[in-house]
Structure 1
Amino acid sequence: MNNTPQLHQYLPSDEVDLFELFHAIWKQKKWVIGCTILAGLLGVGYAYLSPKVYQISSVLRPAAINELDALNRSEVYKLPPADALAKVGSQLESYEARLDFFRANPALFEAFQQPGRSLEQSFEAFNGSAINLVLPDPKKSDSPNSYLRLEMQYPDGLDGVAILNGFVAYAIARQRKQVGADLKVIVNNRLNELKGKIDAARANYETGKASKIARLLEADKIKRAQLQDELTALRLQMKLQRGSRLAELDEAISIAKSIGIKNPTTPSAMGADAFNGSSPVVRTEVTNQKVPLYFLGTEALEAERAALVRRTNDDFTNNRIAEIGKELRMLDVNREVEVLNGRKDEDMFLQDVEPLWAEEARLRGLNIDMSMLKLVTVDRLALEPLGPIKPRKSLIIALSLVAGLMFGILLALTRHFVHLRRQNGPFAVLDERRLPGR
């Protein structure tokens, strides 16, 4: 029972005496200070010996509306300033554009070219984390304050300013060239479309012209055939009439001879032969009957018959034959067909092509040279940085000092507790027979 107080005196307690710990650390301040100084020296060495990394940036903003006005007013290619900025951003982010710039400027990237490494592998070493494109907030993409920021981190010994500004200019030129190529293709497509419509109108005109000429010639042919038929029929009719007249004359001549009428006379004159008075008599004969032909007398009838027998052509006896000859002569040449075939500038007669010609002239007059087109505004060019962003010397040194201090304190506490354990070692392990209750 008398040994119990002595046992509690040497048993460890759960309470921590902060003053005792601070005192223990203070006693080993050399270790703490040494660790702090050592860590600080390591931090200083790392801060001053680690490679320096610089960061630069360039900011692009939408171009003014008047810069793209001529392109947008062409009614061929619509490119609002915000869309132009987005297209340039696509070029800046394009792997192909970056690779082409890398290939076109080998002198700027000599630091990334190493023996045994291909061009693409050297480019991957540069493109992995060197250039970063910061895009605007999608919710504010329609804002007039939209922008693009291109950031680049590069090690010491590399002309990062020339690389970043050169790449921005290269991307803008590449997109400008793409816009020019697109505009040229669109204009050529429009011109080909207009040419197709004009050719179709010309083909339609040629077809219509040939059809009209064919109709006119066919109408002339039909008219000529009809007139020829009419002329043949009239001549046959007059020939038959002449034969009929000859038959009538022969009959009248025979009658006139039989009754002794040699000179023209009338029925009343023949009946007045009985009146042989000396006084002159004037006879007037009113009748509605046709006087027979033989009363003309044999002399007149034979003279007419002889004339009819000698006649070889009856055309002069009918005015219609002369009219038919006139019409046939006019059908020899169709003046409308002659004018149609004699047209020199037939495009002037095309229908509904004036707007097409006007549009074609407008498209051919467009300026498709986009070499001076300003797609974006370079709000800020990359400038030489005032200092590196890595390593941050003050932060590294401060952190190394803190780490050294903490490590020194931990080392001091570890040595203190090890020392206590060694001092209390004989009383920490007791024979079970000396414990109370045994």
Structure 2
Amino acid sequence: MSSNSPISVGPLSNEADLFSLFQAVWLQKKIVITSTVLCALIAWSYAYLATPEYQVSSILRPAAINELDALNRSGVYTLPPSEALLKVGSSLESYDTRLGFFRNNQALFSQFKNPDRSLEQSFEDFNRSSLKLILPDPKKAALMSAYIGLELNYPQGVDGVKILNGLVDYAIAAEREQIAADLKVIVNNRLTELKGKLDAARASYETDKEGRIATLLEADNLKRAQLQDELKALRQQLKTGRMDRMSQLDEAIGIARQLGIKKPTTPSALGDPVRSGETSVMRTEINNQQIPLYFMGVEALEAERAALQHRKTDDFTAERIAQIARELQLLQSNREVEVLKQRQNEDLFLGGVEPLRAEIVRLGGVANLDISNLKLVSVDREALEPLGPIKPRKALIVAFGVVLGGLLGIFIVLIRHTMAMRHGQKPYPVPAGVLAGSIGSGKTVQKQRP
């Protein structure tokens, strides 16, 4: 028969418990070693059997100022290098750009496609887990130049270098095409605006020309009507004067017949008797009074009256009529109107359109600007073949397996030791030196007696 009696061994009881646990682990070290080796083998198998994952990256920086000088000097589209870098970065981050590259290069993404998924779903998985855009830290932006990075994680068997470099080139080309389209739209809009101004200038010129022609023709018509009215009035005046003259001649002829004056005479000669013996007499009479018309004699007056009766026109009697006829002849055709109507290239006569034409010519040169080789960004670092995979990290995985296996073995030993203590099985003996030290310290330990 055996009995257990408590013995006070003092503060060494905790050390004894720890030592007993250590002793239990040591005595069952095979379990710990076996667990460690097993976990290490599992970790090693995973590390060497898992599909390696690689990573490539590319860095873009702003292009040189001279690369964008032709575009900026066009005066139509302004694109600083920093803004060009942001545009390319936005294109790289754009879902539409990435999807377009994925669709156009499906052979490169064969391992990412899943037969049970649509093309967009396969791309969504690739886009979410494989691509990453890297932007500079705003806190360090003052210490370094601007840049944009792009990282790609891909499994073994995928040409990640070609994918990443191709995506960068595709994004740059897409942004270049967008700039070309924007430039074309801006140039076309400005050309349309300038052509509209030219059309307005042509319309204004046509209106002015038609107004000028109408004004000239109206002035000619007015002048012609005035001259014709003047000519008609003058002829009427001349006719009236001729009729009045004939009436005067009729009256003078009657008086001359009554006085017996056949030949032209004077009042003094008419009063003197005819001197006998004189063959011819010449008299000169000076006075300030007009001699009556009948002194011209019947013969002269009748001759003048006959001439007036047979006159068909009185135009030759007035110099103004010839002048009017000359002016009417000149008004038959307006040479200025003829010249205005015969103009061939009327654009040459448009006023104030020289700047518009110069701008149209300049914009035509801008529209023909070749931006296919426009360098929007500088590829500071292209994607290169990686030296090794980033996943799995074999040494780290094996080390983790060793640690995990050791901890698992220790845990199993402790569980077994605890279960043995609870079922009253014989515990592992405590060394005598430890027991003696525990008694001297005043702690209580269980001493087994036979």
Q: TM-score, normalised by structure 2?
A: 0.86
Partner of 1:432: none
The answer to whether 1:64 aligns with 2:91 is no
Say if 1:144 and 1:37 are closer, same or farther in 2 by CA, change over 3 A.
closer
Say if 1:141 and 1:307 are closer, same or farther in 2 by CA, change over 3 A.
farther
* Distance in 1 of aligned mates of 2:67 and 2:7: 92
Say if 1:208 and 1:144 are closer, same or farther in 2 by CA, change over 3 A.
farther
Partner of 1:402: 403
Gaps of 5+ in 2: 427-450
Q: Give the ranges of 4+ consecutive aligned residues of structure 1 lying more than 6 Å apart after TM superposition.
A: 139-144, 274-278
* Distance in 2 of aligned mates of 1:123 and 1:299: 132
Asked if 2 retains the 8 angstrom alpha-carbon contact of 1:261 and 1:297, the reply is yes
Q: CA deviation at 1:141?
A: 7.2
> Could you tell me which amino acid in structure 2 is paired with residue 51 of structure 1?
T
Deviation per CA, 1:86-140: give whole Å up to 9, x if none.
1111221111211221121122111123334322222223222111111234577
SS across alignment from 1:128: helix
Partner of 1:269: 269
Partner of 1:294: 294
Partner of 2:393: 392
SS across alignment from 2:380: strand
The answer to whether 1:184 aligns with 2:184 is yes
* Distance in 1 of aligned mates of 2:385 and 2:70: 36
* Distance in 2 of aligned mates of 1:207 and 1:344: 17
Partner of 1:315: 315
The answer to whether 1:376 aligns with 2:371 is no
SS across alignment from 2:56: strand
Partner of 1:337: 337
SS across alignment from 1:328: helix
* Distance in 1 of aligned mates of 2:140 and 2:266: 126
Partner of 1:53: 53
* Distance in 1 of aligned mates of 2:382 and 2:94: 20
Residue range with higher mean Cα deviation, 397-406 or 414-423: 414-423
Q: CA deviation at 1:338?
A: 0.4
Q: CA deviation at 1:189?
A: 1.6
Say if 1:273 and 1:365 are closer, same or farther in 2 by CA, change over 3 A.
farther
* Distance in 2 of aligned mates of 1:107 and 1:356: 52
Partner of 2:447: none
> Could you tell me which amino acid in structure 2 is paired with residue 54 of structure 1?
Y
Q: TM-score, normalised by structure 1?
A: 0.88
SS across alignment from 1:68: helix
Deviation per CA, 1:264-286: give whole Å up to 9, x if none.
222233344488898x9986544
Gaps of 5+ in 1: 426-438
Count of equivalent residues: 421
The answer to whether 1:412 aligns with 2:413 is yes
Q: CA deviation at 1:7?
A: 5.5
Q: CA deviation at 1:247?
A: 0.5
* Distance in 2 of aligned mates of 1:89 and 1:355: 39
The answer to whether 1:174 aligns with 2:137 is no
* Distance in 2 of aligned mates of 1:21 and 1:276: 203
Partner of 1:428: none
Q: CA deviation at 1:142?
A: 9.2
The answer to whether 1:210 aligns with 2:222 is no
| Identity fraction in percent | 61
Say if 1:294 and 1:140 are closer, same or farther in 2 by CA, change over 3 A.
farther
* Distance in 2 of aligned mates of 1:181 and 1:266: 110
* Distance in 1 of aligned mates of 2:328 and 2:363: 53
SS across alignment from 1:117: coil
* Distance in 2 of aligned mates of 1:268 and 1:355: 91
> Could you tell me which amino acid in structure 1 is paired with residue 384 of structure 2?
L
Residue range with higher mean Cα deviation, 125-134 or 308-317: 125-134
SS across alignment from 2:82: helix
* Distance in 2 of aligned mates of 1:204 and 1:399: 89
The answer to whether 1:118 aligns with 2:118 is yes
SS across alignment from 1:61: strand
Residue range with higher mean Cα deviation, 241-250 or 200-209: 200-209
Say if 1:140 and 1:412 are closer, same or farther in 2 by CA, change over 3 A.
closer
Residue range with higher mean Cα deviation, 40-49 or 160-169: 40-49
Partner of 2:251: 251
Partner of 1:429: none
Deviation per CA, 1:55-105: give whole Å up to 9, x if none.
000111111111110011111111111111111112211112112211211
Q: CA deviation at 1:230?
A: 0.9
